[in-house]
Each structure stands twice: as structure tokens, then as C-alpha cells.
Structure 1
Amino acid sequence: MYYYYTPVVSIHLYFSFIQVIVSSHEKQYVIFPPQIKTDKTGIFQILRGSSSTMMSNNELSVCWSFFGEYCTSVFFFLDKDIIYICPFNGAVKGKVLITNFRLYFKSSYNVSPTVMLDVPLGAISRVEKMGGASSRGENSYGLDITCKDMRNLRFALKQEGHSRRDIFELLFKYAFPLSHGLPLFAYVTQEKYAENGWKIFKPMEEFRRQGLPNNKWRITFINEKYDFCDTYPHVLAVPFESKDEDLRRVATFRSRGRIPVLSWIHRENQAVIVRCSQPLVGMSGKRNRDDERYLDVIREMNHTTKLTIFDARPNVNAVANKATGGGYEGDEYQNAELVFLDIQNIHVMRESLKKLKDIVYPNVEESHWLSSLESTHWLEHLVLSGAIQVADKVSSGNSVVVHCSDGWDRTAQLTSLAMLMLDSHYRTLRGFQVLIEKEWISFGHKFASRIGHGDKNHADQDRSPIFVQFIDCVWQMTKQFPTAFEFNESLLLEILNHLYSCRFGTFLYNCESARDLHDLRSKTVSLWSLVNSKSEIYLNPFYSPESGRVLYPVASMRHLELWVSYYIRWNPRIRHKVQCCESSDSEAKWIQLLVLTRKFSQHRERGA
């Protein structure tokens, strides 16, 4: 194995002599040179099990899994004791290591059971100081860390030596790099994979798969330079008879210029799912005959008598939006029916998840569990019922238009879930990646604003778990249709982990134009590169492809479940109990399913 030294350029001033060593086999090693006078043997004991090895001349090697990660002040912080206030095991003494990607804690070698934390800094939402110089209580002086992935972490330190200040400043700097003029970690890492995940979604290939263009729908590059609509993708599918000048007139009447464009077309009945933003009706009830005609052209494409417009908002919210210049389609849209789906806005969803977090971490009151879960309204907010209505209309041969206010939150939830129900291609491993790239990433879901990548503003009112809700809905569908999806739960968990981690470029920025402006595809790695390089661990062994099948999940509360493997994965007590209760039952169901699948396959072979 060959090594070369690389200086840690942004290291803390006092520790600039620490070096990072990187191998040629996609491994990285943090090296303590011999001149550093520290107990390397003791440090090795702390990190044993983390791919650590003692090297010649008593150097310590800490192996990380990808390029670009370096230690910010390893020597200093590995030599400092810190106490993790574990909500399950009490105060745990150990050591902490901070890199530009993660916070890593491991309990001292004499602590049993071993306690470890591995937190991507991108998952940190807030870092606060706990206690002050006058604090006298045990473990009352330290740091409180709020994470985006349902965790809260508390560390206690000794008051002398400015130990808290140094750790606080490092965490604050690297958890919120954009607030300090630093790049996100995705721009630093140099991971290499056999497949380029950025090539998984090619718009023209996806249009061709759907049978487009045809004699009714055409492809337009009116937005090639993003000067038509800066939050839309560069290539769009629009009605064949609508000229580009017609599109520009319609754009003046749609919020943010997000005109109605095709998301999906039914191969047989030619019904379509069209997405857009709200019309700019305002308090005066303005009309735009170009917009009215445009929607009627969409209706005429498959000769339906009525075009169904699904407005994701509650009726009262849509009416209130008139005060800010928005609104909804009124009676002047003569060949359309308007259906409000009563899905709440981003602020309600954010508060609902916060309530859920409060009841699952760190402690769960089992005696009041059901009532506590009901009080969060989280399961009620899942948008499955609205997506079912969209899918049912299209499957029945009726074209639909879907929008909310700006068309990048609830709209994306509804269109992508309906497409998942209607099109089995999106239920494959690669098809699901295309669905996310198409309906969420290219159509401008505001990932940067909703997640707050690298931003210290914890209280930003734009943050909301809209994409988490979508993935939760997908999980609900995989539970109800266990053989219909080629991928498994591990894929969904991987996606949500890297929604926050900033290790990959996939979920960075708010829209396609911003990604192009920052050279995202050439300077960062796609999450799909990782997924497709080890696809076997994300595959569902019980998958049975059925190309023409439409899925209609049951959306009633009694058929929905809390996703324990995600929301309660940090609570070992509850997770262990759930796994123990479910393991034997789940195993029996899977065995029974395997038997039935084999019998069906044998029957089909005999019939052939």
C-alpha cells in the first residue's frame, strides 16, 4: 500500500503540524507524527474497532471510508475527556473526534456497554452552549446539539482550559460551512465509483420511455437557459399546438412562471398528470384567457369532458392566498372541476414532526403511546389519500392538473406518489432514482431551504420535512405491497441519511439552474453512484415485477404505521422491543410469502 502526505490546510492554528495520509485504495488515514507527544496507544484503544491500526514508530492510523475527510484538531480533542449525557445509559465518559464531515464519540475502553456516536455534521441543526462559568451542578457545563435526524445530543466538559469554546467553534464552523464562507463537504470529498450516478436521469430518455414526443405533446427547450422559469428544468413537455409565445403569456399568470407542464402520460388512455403553480387571480379576481385556453387544450388531448384540477391546499388557505396575489381556478375555467385536497402547509408539517420527535426521543411513554402519537397528527398529514385520487382519475382516463401554491412542495409529493402507483418502472431501483431526480430535483423542490444545508439559521421558517413525508409514504406503500417494489427499506434509510449529510451533491441547492451555476455535476458525487455501486444491499428479495399493475394503498389511519426504523432508530429500548415483537411474526410471514411465490412460479411454468 502506498501513501502520500497531504497538509491539513484549514486545521486549527495551534495544530497545523498534524498530517493526513491517504491511500490509493479509497481509504483515508489521520496520522499522528512521532513528534506529537501524546498517548497514541491510549488513543488507539479508544478508537479500536473503527478501522484503526497502530503503524510503525508508534503512529496511529484512523481509517475513514472516503476521500476528502480530514481531522480538524485530532490531537487536541482526542487528548481531552468529554462526557456524553446519554439519555439511555446516563453520563458516559469518552473521547471525541471532529473532522470536517463528522463528530465521532466513543466511550472509554473500560465502559461497558460501549457507546459510540457517528454524526455527520450536515445533520446538525443547532449547537448551543449549556451552562456558564457559575454552573455548579454535575455535568451542567457543556454543549447541546440538536440534529435534523431526530437526535438531541448533550456533552459535558470541564470548565477550565477553554475546552468548550474550542469544540463549539469547530463544530459551529464545520456544521455550518456556508455561514462561514466554506464549501459544503460534497465539494471537498473525492470519492470514486465505477458508475456515474449523475447519468441515471436523462430527461429525453425518460420522455421517450413514456412515448413522447407524439402528435399531441411536444418537447420544448424554451427554458434551456433558465430565463423562462428559473426554478423549472431546462427541457419541458407541453401541448403540441401551444407555441412558445403562448407559453410566455401563460407564464405571466402562474406563480413564479411555473406553467402547467407534463409530468407523466398514460400509455393506453393518454391521460396525463400535469403540474404547475397557482394562478395569479388576486383579490380582484383577474382572468387570463390564454391560461384558460391552455388548460382546455390539455383537456382536449384525450377527449375528456372535464379536466380535474387538484389543488393540494385547504380551501381556506387557497382563498387567503388571494390577498398576496395568488388564488385558484374559478368558474371561468368552464371545462374543469376543482378539488381541494386539504393538505396543510410547510409550517404545520414542521410543527407536526417536532411533536413526533418530542414523543419518540429520548423517552417514550408507553402507557400513553397511542394518544401521544395521535396528538402529533403526523400520520394524518401523510398525503397518500390525495395521491390515490390523482392516480385513480388518470387510471380512469381523465387528465389532471396538480398544484399547491408554488408547485414545489405538496405538488411534488402528489405527482411522484401518483406516478409510483401508476407506473411500475418507478418501483424499480433505478426507476425510483429517476422519479426523485425528475419530480423533486429537476422541478425545483427547495431542498436547500427545506433542509438548511450548511446554514446556521435553525429557526428558519422555510425548513420543513416535505421530502421526508414523501419517503415515509413510499415506505407505507412498501409495507402494504411487499412484492411490488424492487428496492427495500435500506434504500429509503440511505436516502434520508444523505438528505442531511452533505456528502453527495444530489440534494444540494433549490433548483436545476442553481446546480448548473455551481457546477454541481462536475464537482460533486451523486448519491446514486454509491447506491448503484452496491445495489445488492438495496434489493427486495421478494420483488415480483408486474408491469401493468396500479397500486391503490389504503390510506386510513388504522392501516398506516409509524416508521419505527427511522423515527425511533436512536432509541435502543423501543427499537429492541419492536424488533423482538415483530421478528417472529415477520419471519413467519416472509416464509409463507416465499412458499406462495414459489408455488405461483411453478404454476405459471406448468401453464406455459
Structure 2
Amino acid sequence: MLSSGAKAAKPSFVSYISPEEIQIKEPIEKEVNPHLLPGELLLCEASTVYKYIQEDGSNRGTYGKLVCTNFKIAFLDDDSASDDNESQFKNKIIGENDITLQCVDQIYGVYDEKKKLLTGQLRKYPEKLIIYCKDLRVFNFCLRYTKEEEVKRIVSGIIHHSQTPKLLKRLFLFSYASAAPNNSDGRNQTVMFDTLEDWRAELERTKGNVQYKVVTTNEGYRVSEKLPLYFVVPICVSEESILKYEGRGIPIWCWSCHNGAALLKMSAFPKEQDDSTSQMQKAFLDGIYKTISKPPYELLKTDDLSSSLPSLQDIQTAYTRFKQLFLIDNSTDFWATDVKWFSLLESTNWLEIIRRVLKKAIEVVECLERQHTNVLLIEESAADLCCVISSLVQVMMDSYSRTKSGFQSLIQKEWVIGGHGFLDRCNHLHNSDKEEAPVFLLLLDCVWQLVQQYPAAFEFTETYLTVLSDSLYVPIFSTFFFNSQHQKDTNTTGESLKTQSGPFRFLTVWDWSVQFDPKAQAFLNNPLYAEKPKPDKSQRKTARFKHQRQLSCPLTQTKSSPKRGFFREETDHLIKNILGKRIGKFINSSDEPPNSFREFYDSWHSKPVDYHGLLLPRIDGPEIRVWAQRYLRWIPEVQLHGGGTIATAAKILDLMEEVQSLQRQSVKPALPTSTWKDLEDEDDLVKRDDEFVDLSSDMLKCIY
């Protein structure tokens, strides 16, 4: 002990070795080998690789082995083989430290503390490797203590197999399907829309078979390789016209409203044509328009989305800026951007694009619902923004699309069979960055806005949407890996693709049992979903259900905010929860909708919510929010420990299981799930802010 007057001596110990060097003395007790899927091959590996923990700048982490296969990059340590601390929401295909090759976004090397983008052949190999993922994870690996030969092999292998252009049949999708051909095709209750019967059933379900017909003109793809084998057109369209114009200029049916109005889409004719061809095409279109317009109402409403919505390049640019806010290397970078985070967020324009897309979908809904007018969406290929708007309209107007199987069927119809170019837009082959655009992710973000505003209206959860966005980069499912049905069909036929144990067949992402066990799948289903009550027998013969929210007398027009942009000085409750600081609040955009739109919009929002009728999102500035679960889940600094929606969902599931058990023991159900909303006033439920998503270190595993 020191005497009362003595001064404490200053510490004299100085450490000349890093934390990594201290920990390297700890021997690795057992050899850890990667778990390989059918068709997966180990390509290269490196031992004594140090993986950093991103929580702070203390260089804390763990040693292990870094491997690269034809499917993934994986980091293996002593904990990799242990079943301790198993999360409730574990993915059976992708582990916590696994990165599929398609999920790799960019790779950086660190040379003398300077970061450099790695591409192609390297003259010098880095001391550290940083991998940025498309699901917004960031991995930091130290290679200082790895053998030089192993560093060369692993770095070169990772760059080559994840970044260089490749042939379609080199994707792991084909290796897996060849090695495991007899897996379930995952149809379940999802309608795949690859048969004539599927389309006829959809026409019958929506009562669209009065004015529309399924055509088989494209069997054998004799009309166009971009069109599906079967699709629906107005009865007035002849097969000769479809053949003559190779599918361009032909209105293709998407969906029919309860009042008979229909939503259609059309790929535009090429802009540069000689005069005679242009005149002939114009006369053809005029005839089509007059035939499918509905007197005495307005003529057919046409909307060229290429001019009324942001371009794909603008969408890609906005998302590229937006995602940089969430690709955080370390705590220092996080706190450096935290001060100006909201000004940076606004400058990306991503939230404004979401608002514009939702506004456009509501405009289409107004035409269908209020004006009883057919709407024809036009786009160059009718397979990008047409898919976004048509899907959103159906989610808003058709409660079936808000069920899990209905939403999956919708994606099959509008996106997979509809010919969205997933291969190009996701850049799975790394052939052209110019074609890349997060169009499907834009749809999921827009749907998330609806889910967080009206959770009881959806059978699925935001976790379902997050998992679906991650599944874009898992190359064992064919759902998101082809540009068209033709491309898929031509790559699954032929003698070279036949296997000894059965026919060559891809999995679909809709077979959730491939990725999750039953307990984990429960997180995809909303236990508070307000199920549609079954009508009494006496009511079944009555007229079709109409939405409660019809247009009433015009309301006073809402004044727009004089300030342009999304943010102002006041504190927003949601964002305060996210970042724990007094920061800006979303405000109304000065881009005021047209009067008729505002009347329709305000009138609907003035009435009680019908969870099985028309559903309109709130699109004024404060209502368009950041999808916290997807974008912020990997940043420890923004997490609140010990709570959040995942923990809440787990508690709710436990309670629902107990309630169902009580129901089985009781003559009358104690709390039917279809009437849960009676426990609380609907308006209060709608107005209540969502709880902040907690994905703390315990919960991060819930989303892999």
C-alpha cells in the first residue's frame, strides 16, 4: 500500500505486440472442416486467419481457417463445430460466417493502413482483407500471420470466383441441382403460373375471364423468348397480331379489380422506326385502346413508367449511395457519419424514390377503384418498373396478395414468369455493371412500408421480407437466377443435364424447409394476422364484398410543407429509437399530388381500416421510414440490448401456442386469432409507432 502522501506511480509496462499476437499463442484444439452441400467443392483455404469483431477498435477477434468453395466463402473457428448458443432462427444453408459468392459486393485490401479495391491479378497481396456483402455485412480478416503461399491462394481464389465474369452454367445453381436432383420442388400452396391451368384459375379467381383469355401462341417460344409460354390478353387481340409484332405493343393482363376494371402492362415498340411502320403500329394501338376502354367512363388510362418514374440508372445510383451508410467498417466510421447521418440519408434520394413509387401505385389504384378505368402500364421491356407497380397495386387492392402463399404467387406471376431479368439486375454473372439495378429490392422495401404501417393486414412478417431479400443471393434456388422462363427452360433440358437418379430439377425459394426448420419458419408467419372471417352460408350468395373505404365527399385539401425534403429540426420518435440522438424528422414533400389524388387519398385515410379491403400506404414524409431490420441489423452501435421485434415475436409465438392449447381444451375458443383485433381499437393500432427492431449480438443470429 502507498503511504498517505505518496503519489501513485505511472504505469511503466509497454506492450510491443498486438492483441492478435497475444492470442495466437492459444493453440487451436481441433481441425475444423467446412460443411459442404451436394455439388460443393473446396477450392482453396488459409489457416491462422484472424477475424476481427467490429464492435470497437480494440482489434478483438478470433483465429480460424478461411476457405473458398464454388458456393461460398466461409470462416471456420472452434465455435463453428459447436452447437452451443444455437439461435432460434438459424439458416440451414448459410451460416453466420458464410458468404455466398453471389453475395460478395466488393473486396478491399489493406496495405500499410491504406484501403484499396481489389480486382483482377494482384502484384502485392494485402495484410488485411475486407469483404463487403450485398446483405450489408462487413467482414474484416487479418492475414499477417498466414503463410505467404496460403495468402496468395486464398486472396486470388476469392477474387477470381466472386468478382470475375463467369458463364451461366458455372453458377453453383447447376452443380447443386445435378448433385441433389430429387429435392422437393417447393410448390406448396404457391401458384407457379407455368401452366395453362394456373392462368385460367387466376382469371376465374379475379373474374377477369369475361374480357380476357389465356393464349398459347408462344408455345415453343415462337413469338418471343422474353414472354412466358402462357399469358393473358384482351379477347379482342388476335394471335396473328401477337405473332406479327413479336409481343410488343400487346397489352398483357395482370389483374382484374372487383368492379371489372383491369390492370395491364405492355412493352413499347422501338422508338426508331420508319414512318410507314410507325403509322401502322399507331393504328394498331389505337384499335386496341378503343376496344379495351370502357364507355361511358374515361378512355383507357395509359402510363409510360419510363417517363413518370426514375430511371433504372437513377435507382441504382440512389441505392449505391444509400447502402454506403450501412456498410460500416468500425466504430470510428460509424460515429464519424452519425453526426450528419440524416443529411447523408436525404442526399441519397432512396426514400424519395420509394415515396414516388408508392404514390404512382396509389394513382393507379385510384383509376381502378374510383374511376373504374382500365390502366395500361408501358415500359420498354415491361419487366422492371411495370413489375414493381403492378405488384404494389395488387398488394394494396387484393387481400389474397397479403397472405404468404398469395404474395409468393404474385412474385411468381409478375416477376419470375413475367420475365424480370434477375440475372442481369442482380449481376450474378458480373458481366455488366450497367445492367445492375435493385428493382426487386425496391419492391420489397415498398411492401415493408405497408407491413410496418398495417401489420395486422399481412400474414407474413418483416422478417419474411428480410429473408426473401437475402435469398436473392443464395444460388441453390432458381427463382431469382434467370432472366426469363425461356432461359431457364433452355438450360434445364438436353442430354448433358440428365442425371442417373432422376430428372434435372431446380429448387424454388418458396420451399422454406430447405433453409429453415419448422421452429424458425414460425418467425416468417405473423401470429397477429387478422384472418379473413368465413362468411355464413346465408351470406355466401350475396354480392361480392366491396371495400369499406369508398370515396366520399371531398375533404379540405392538405397544405404542403413549404420546406422541401424529408427532414426538419424536430425529433422523430422512430429515428430517436434507432440512433438514440436528437435528430431530424421526416416532413411532407412539397411535391403535392394532384387534387383528385389528394381527395381520394385523404378520404380513404379518414375512415376505419378494413384489413381485407383496399389498403393505401401513408406516403407523406414522416411515414416513409428506413427498413431498420434489413439495413441496420449488422451495426452493433444502433442496437438496443434485450428487446426488439424478434424477441417480441418469440414471446407472441409462445403465447399463441398456449392460447391454441387452451382452445383445444375449451368448447368455445378463448381467443380466436381471427378476432384478436377486438382487443384493441383499430385506429389506435394503426397510429401506434412500430417498436424499434432490436438485433443485438444475441439477436443478430436471428437473421443469419
TM-score of the superposition, structure 1-length normalised?
0.73
Q: How many Å separate the matches in 1 of 2:105 and 2:649?
A: 38
Q: How many Å separate the matches in 2 of 1:581 and 1:273?
A: 36
Superposed, 1:112-261 pairs within 5 Å as: 117-131=97-111, 141-158=127-144, 161-175=148-162, 179=166, 183-189=170-176, 190=180, 196-197=186-187, 200-202=191-193, 203=195, 204-211=197-204, 214-249=209-244, 251=245, 257=248, 259-261=250-252
Segments of structure 2 that go 5 or more residues without pairing to the other structure are: 1-25, 80-84, 87-94, 116-124, 329-333, 494-502, 533-544, 548-612, 656-670, 682-704
Q: How many Å separate the matches in 2 of 1:227 and 1:555?
A: 43
For the pair 1:573 / 2:539, whether they are aligned, the reply is no
Q: Could you say if the C-alpha distance between residues 179 and 129 of structure 1 is closer, same or farther in structure 2, counting changes exceeding 3 Å?
A: farther
Q: Could you say if the C-alpha distance between residues 160 and 216 of structure 1 is closer, same or farther in structure 2, counting changes exceeding 3 Å?
A: closer
In the TM superposition, residue 85 of structure 1 has moved relative to its aligned partner by 7.5
SS in 2 for 1:527: coil
Q: How many Å separate the matches in 1 of 2:103 and 2:458?
A: 28
Amino acid at match of 1:379: L
Match of 1:551 in 2: 615
Q: How many Å separate the matches in 2 of 1:233 and 1:596?
A: 38
- The alignment of Structure 1 onto Structure 2 pairs a total of residues equal to 503
Q: 2:71 aligns with which of 76, 96, 101?
A: 101
For the pair 1:71 / 2:42, whether they are aligned, the reply is yes
Q: Could you say if the C-alpha distance between residues 226 and 258 of structure 1 is closer, same or farther in structure 2, counting changes exceeding 3 Å?
A: farther
Q: How many Å separate the matches in 2 of 1:352 and 1:577?
A: 31
Deviations 1:499-524 (A, max 9, x none): 01212111111111101111189432
Match of 1:262 in 2: 253
Q: How many Å separate the matches in 1 of 2:67 and 2:373?
A: 58
Amino acid at match of 2:105: S
Q: 1:366 aligns with which of 325, 334, 338?
A: 338
Superposed, 1:439-478 pairs within 5 Å as: 439-453=414-428, 455-457=429-431, 460-478=433-451
Q: Identity over aligned residues, as a percent?
A: 23
Q: How many Å separate the matches in 2 of 1:248 and 1:445?
A: 21
Aligned-residue CA RMSD in angstroms? 3.9
Q: How many Å separate the matches in 2 of 1:602 and 1:349?
A: 40
Amino acid at match of 1:395: E
Q: How many Å separate the matches in 2 of 1:44 and 1:71?
A: 22
SS in 1 for 2:633: coil
Match of 2:557 in 1: none
In the TM superposition, residue 495 of structure 1 has moved relative to its aligned partner by 1.1
CA contact (8 A) 1:213 1:219 kept: no
Q: How many Å separate the matches in 1 of 2:426 and 2:396?
A: 27
Q: How many Å separate the matches in 1 of 2:114 and 2:404?
A: 56
For the pair 1:417 / 2:399, whether they are aligned, the reply is no
Amino acid at match of 1:489: E
Q: How many Å separate the matches in 2 of 1:518 and 1:581?
A: 42
Q: How many Å separate the matches in 2 of 1:508 and 1:486?
A: 26
Amino acid at match of 1:295: Y
Match of 2:511 in 1: 529
CA contact (8 A) 1:488 1:539 kept: yes
CA contact (8 A) 1:482 1:543 kept: yes
Q: 2:300 aligns with which of 297, 302, 307?
A: 307
In the TM superposition, residue 469 of structure 1 has moved relative to its aligned partner by 0.6
Q: 1:356 aligns with which of 305, 322, 330?
A: 322
Match of 1:381 in 2: 353
Mean Cα deviation higher: 343-352 or 211-220: 211-220
Q: Could you say if the C-alpha distance between residues 72 and 140 of structure 1 is closer, same or farther in structure 2, counting changes exceeding 3 Å?
A: closer
CA contact (8 A) 2:528 2:676 kept: no
Match of 2:471 in 1: 498
Q: Could you say if the C-alpha distance between residues 508 and 479 of structure 1 is closer, same or farther in structure 2, counting changes exceeding 3 Å?
A: same
CA contact (8 A) 1:451 1:463 kept: yes
Q: How many Å separate the matches in 2 of 1:581 and 1:423?
A: 27
Deviations 1:321-367 (A, max 9, x none): xxxxxxxxxxxxxxxxxxxx3x2111111111121122222126333
Match of 1:278 in 2: 268
Q: How many Å separate the matches in 2 of 1:352 and 1:174?
A: 28
Q: How many Å separate the matches in 2 of 1:540 and 1:432?
A: 14
Match of 2:291 in 1: 297
SS in 1 for 2:223: coil
SS in 1 for 2:264: strand
Q: Could you say if the C-alpha distance between residues 485 and 221 of structure 1 is closer, same or farther in structure 2, counting changes exceeding 3 Å?
A: same
Match of 1:539 in 2: 525
Q: Could you say if the C-alpha distance between residues 60 and 282 of structure 1 is closer, same or farther in structure 2, counting changes exceeding 3 Å?
A: closer
Q: How many Å separate the matches in 2 of 1:502 and 1:541?
A: 30
Greater RCO, 1 or 2 (C-alpha within 8 Å, sep 6+)? 2
Q: Could you say if the C-alpha distance between residues 460 and 579 of structure 1 is closer, same or farther in structure 2, counting changes exceeding 3 Å?
A: farther
Amino acid at match of 1:293: G
TM-score of the superposition, structure 2-length normalised?
0.64
Amino acid at match of 2:263: I
Amino acid at match of 2:293: R
Match of 1:560 in 2: 624
Q: Could you say if the C-alpha distance between residues 531 and 227 of structure 1 is closer, same or farther in structure 2, counting changes exceeding 3 Å?
A: farther
Match of 2:668 in 1: none
Amino acid at match of 1:214: N
CA contact (8 A) 1:197 1:525 kept: no
Q: Could you say if the C-alpha distance between residues 197 and 243 of structure 1 is closer, same or farther in structure 2, counting changes exceeding 3 Å?
A: same
SS in 1 for 2:74: strand
Q: Could you say if the C-alpha distance between residues 294 and 447 of structure 1 is closer, same or farther in structure 2, counting changes exceeding 3 Å?
A: same
CA contact (8 A) 1:408 1:440 kept: yes
Q: Could you say if the C-alpha distance between residues 133 and 394 of structure 1 is closer, same or farther in structure 2, counting changes exceeding 3 Å?
A: closer
Amino acid at match of 2:186: N
Q: Could you say if the C-alpha distance between residues 585 and 122 of structure 1 is closer, same or farther in structure 2, counting changes exceeding 3 Å?
A: closer
CA contact (8 A) 1:451 1:465 kept: yes
Match of 1:402 in 2: 377
Segments of structure 1 that go 5 or more residues without pairing to the other structure are: 1-40, 46-58, 315-340, 604-608
Amino acid at match of 1:385: K
SS in 2 for 1:210: helix
Q: How many Å separate the matches in 2 of 1:349 and 1:82?
A: 37
Q: Could you say if the C-alpha distance between residues 130 and 450 of structure 1 is closer, same or farther in structure 2, counting changes exceeding 3 Å?
A: same
Match of 2:365 in 1: 391
In the TM superposition, residue 149 of structure 1 has moved relative to its aligned partner by 2.0
CA contact (8 A) 2:184 2:507 kept: no
CA contact (8 A) 2:460 2:524 kept: yes
Q: How many Å separate the matches in 2 of 1:596 and 1:223?
A: 43
In the TM superposition, residue 141 of structure 1 has moved relative to its aligned partner by 2.2
Q: 1:429 aligns with which of 404, 418, 421?
A: 404
CA contact (8 A) 1:105 1:116 kept: no
In the TM superposition, residue 380 of structure 1 has moved relative to its aligned partner by 0.6
